[in-house]
A and B are shown apart, each in its own frame.
Chain A
Amino acid sequence: GKEKASQLFSEGSAFDSATFAEHLPSQFVFPNTLPGQMGSRLLELSFMGLNRLEDEEDEQNRGSGGYLPRDAWHRLARRVQCCFKTAPSFHYMMGSFYAEPPPPKPRIE
């Protein structure tokens, strides 16, 4: 069925989430690829994706999730980072627990 909201969007291009999902795996690419190079390489880059199911080279890339490379989601995250203004978080070990002296150890002479 159609979502109520999409009825409001009669002008302009339609957006089909199924098509989106089909195109998306081409974006699971190496982080060094600059966004500007995307357009012309969409088809070449589809080796990452669902439309090369029969390719034996992808055998080792197949995780339990199917035919996407193991780090597909890391690659997509890197690719779409520019859309987010997320603050980096600060992680540390010092001060994360009570400082207690360890039990005395027998010294081996």
Chain B
Amino acid sequence: MSRQMGDSHRRFLQAMMGRGITDEQGALRLYQHCCETHKTQCAPDKLDDFIDTINSKLQPMFMQIRKGMSEDNGQQYYALVNMAETEITRMTSDYADNELELFRKTMDLIVSSENGKASSTEILNSTDSMTSKKLKKSETEHLLNRLVNDKWLCEKHGEYTLSTRCIIEMEPYIRAMYQDQVKVCHICHNIAFQCQICENPTCGIKIHNPCVARYFKGRTEPHCPACDDFWPHEIPEVRRPHTKSRR
């Protein structure tokens, strides 16, 4: 499946380095732009092959362009991620050690929550138990803003969730570190934070909100796929990808 890389691949990779993450439509537009710039053929159904070529060359550096679903809108996203933890990767300096400690505490809160969210109050309180240099309130707020800008967290109404980029990159880490604690979607089998839970105490399966929308679409009486109990939660609408017209 892997061919040689050309300038169109390199340009795509450079753009992914700059953006970190892009949605499926954005990836297609970028792919078209890169191919047009370097006068190579492109076809929408060849995007994944194109990315596979890049990935085969990135693999020795433990880098990959990975695909994942947004828990918010159910769309597919592509993220350029690092997959190794080494002496060298620990040298990255975007965040200080104590800032990373607080980020890990925020992840702890989100993983152990039922709704996949952590409030700013909870996060601020968790600075009390920091083992590295404690962050002040203003520093914590500044850090949270940076984490949102850098697309590691999302914020809505004072509550923080893990971004799609974070979930895609940190998924192996989260599975390994949180093991039984982390929720898994019964439908797509990926880790789940913002999801609906079956209320049958002997069942308790979890389904992502967008996976609920797709699975129960059109059904008048939704039943749990595992235990057949009535599914009591509101079924969200399936969200269509927003396609922009080409300029």
Tell me the interface secondary structure of chain B in the complex.
Answer: helix
Q: How many residues of A contact B (CB 8 A)?
A: 17
A-B contact count (CB 8 A): 69
Tell me if A96 and B177 are in contact (CB < 8 A).
no
Size band of the interface chain B makes with A = 35 or more
Tell me if B108 and A102 are in contact (CB < 8 A).
yes
A-B contact pairs, 15 of them (CB 8 A): A87-B14, A91-B150, A92-B82, A92-B92, A94-B82, A95-B82, A95-B85, A97-B101, A99-B176, A99-B177, A102-B107, A102-B108, A105-B108, A105-B112, A105-B181
Q: A46 CA to B95 CA in the complex, in Å?
A: 39
Minimum C-beta distance from A27 to chain B (A): 22
Q: A89 CA to B166 CA in the complex, in Å?
A: 18
Q: A89 CA to B85 CA in the complex, in Å?
A: 18
B7 at the interface (CB under 8 A from A): no
Tell me if A92 and B150 are in contact (CB < 8 A).
no
Q: A90 CA to B90 CA in the complex, in Å?
A: 14
Tell me the interface secondary structure of chain A in the complex.
Answer: loop
Q: A97 CA to B181 CA in the complex, in Å?
A: 21
Minimum C-beta distance from B220 to chain A (A): 33
Give per-residue flags for A57-91: 1 if the beta carbon is below 8 A from chain B beta carbons, else 0. 00000000000000000000000000000011111
Q: Which residues of B contact A89 (CB under 8 A)?
A: 17
